[in-house]
């Protein structure tokens, strides 16, 4: 029997009613953690409310002998995020793991994206991750330990069409995670990101009209959320990994790069616009990034 890696731990998993969040909650419970299952039960676009997804996950955990409680709060509301953290401490005596997984999609080509679509996606993904993390930080600091796992995306790390709101939020989460890792290392608090490749409601909106697009979607269907849950569970159990970004694609795990200088130019007399155009840009151009999308970078079949 596999060792229970999270025995005695308490985890708060947001957006845990379906998809990746559900599988993370179930796997962490299997490894001995008590779980706060948070989900407002909205549709993929953030509309509507449904208590049944989160309730069903709690029931499933309990039916297998695990410990779980349900929470229907919205991560985009700071007060409700505080309530999630307080519920964990009140119900189980502590909080050790926060998985910021809740999210919505409002895709639109940039020149047609509304302010509301931008604000709502950022409010759930980025502001929601801040809200939950900031409230959990007080608990983690007090007990001198804790672990954050945040969900980013290659849409933000690499690029994608029609997702300015989602890309902005997901790349912002990378900065948030690194800031937490730096600021809270003195309290033995760790913070990492996962960029998941998995078929869920968040990927159902991917267009599939051409044979090539249909083939890509079919491959995505084979990348199940449990592959992400394994990595999230490992990050929650490890006491040394922090400040990193991992991408998970089926049975592949990638350590993703972080922004560092590629090439440099120096001119003792200083630069003018003309000398930049004549000298700096031509010299640096071989290292320029193209307008890549995720599929341009991950060009091989998932394994």
Buried b (16+ CB within 10 A) or exposed e, 279-293: eeeeeeeeeeeeeee
Q: Two tokens at 297?
A: 């970078």
Among candidate residues 99, 114, 102, the one with its CA nearest the CA of residue 192: 99
16: left (phi over 0), alpha (psi -120 to 50) or beta: alpha
What burial class does residue 119 get, using C-beta atoms within 10 Å of its C-beta: 0-12 exposed, 13-18 middle, 19+ buried? middle
Indicate the pairing of strand 10-13 with strand 34-38: parallel
The reply to whether 166 belongs to the active site is: yes
Query: 154, 294 in Cβ contact below 8 A?
Result: yes
Active-site residue identified among 72, 166, 187, 289: 166
Q: How far apart are CA 116 and CA 144, in angstroms?
A: 39
Q: Are 133 and 100 in contact (CB under 8 A)?
A: yes
Strands of 146-151's sheet in order across:
68-71, 34-38, 10-13, 97-100, 146-151, 189-197, 245-249, 252-255
Structure tokens at 16: 């845990």
Q: How far apart are the first and last CA of the chain?
A: 26
Q: Enumerate the active-site residues.
A: 166
């Amino acid at each position: 029997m596999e060792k229970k890696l999270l025995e005695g731990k308490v985890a708060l998993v947001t957006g845990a009613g379906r998809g990746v969040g559900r599988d993370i909650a179930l796997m962490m419970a299997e490894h001995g953690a008590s779980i706060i299952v948070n989900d407002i039960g909205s549709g993929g676009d953030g509309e509507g409310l449904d208590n049944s997804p989160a309730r069903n996950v709690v029931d499933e955990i309990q039916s297998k002998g695990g410990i779980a409680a349900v929470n229907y709060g919205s991560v985009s509301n700071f007060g409700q995020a505080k309530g999630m953290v307080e519920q964990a401490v009140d119900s189980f005596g502590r909080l050790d793991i926060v998985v910021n997984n809740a999210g919505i999609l409002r895709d639109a080509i940039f020149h047609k994206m509304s302010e509301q679509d931008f604000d709502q996606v950022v409010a759930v993904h980025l502001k929601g991750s801040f809200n939950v993390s900031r409230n959990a930080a007080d608990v983690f600091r007090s007990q001198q330990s804790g672990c954050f796992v945040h969900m980013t995306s290659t849409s933000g790390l690499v690029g994608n069409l029609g997702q300015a709101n989602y890309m902005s939020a997901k790349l912002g989460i990378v900065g948030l995670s690194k800031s937490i890792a730096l600021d809270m290392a003195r309290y033995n608090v760790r913070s990492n990101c996962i960029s998941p490749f998995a078929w869920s409601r968040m990927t159902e909106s991917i267009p599939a009209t051409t044979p090539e697009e249909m083939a890509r979607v079919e491959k995505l269907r084979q990348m199940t959320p449990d592959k992400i849950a394994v990595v999230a569970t490992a990050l929650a159990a490890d006491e040394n990994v922090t400040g990193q970004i991992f991408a998970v694609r089926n049975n592949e795990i990638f350590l993703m790069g972080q922004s560092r200088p590629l090439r440099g130019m120096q001119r003792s007399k200083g630069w003018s616009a003309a000398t930049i155009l004549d000298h700096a840009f031509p010299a640096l151009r071989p290292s320029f990034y193209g307008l890549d999308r995720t599929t341009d970078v991950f060009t091989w079949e998932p394994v």
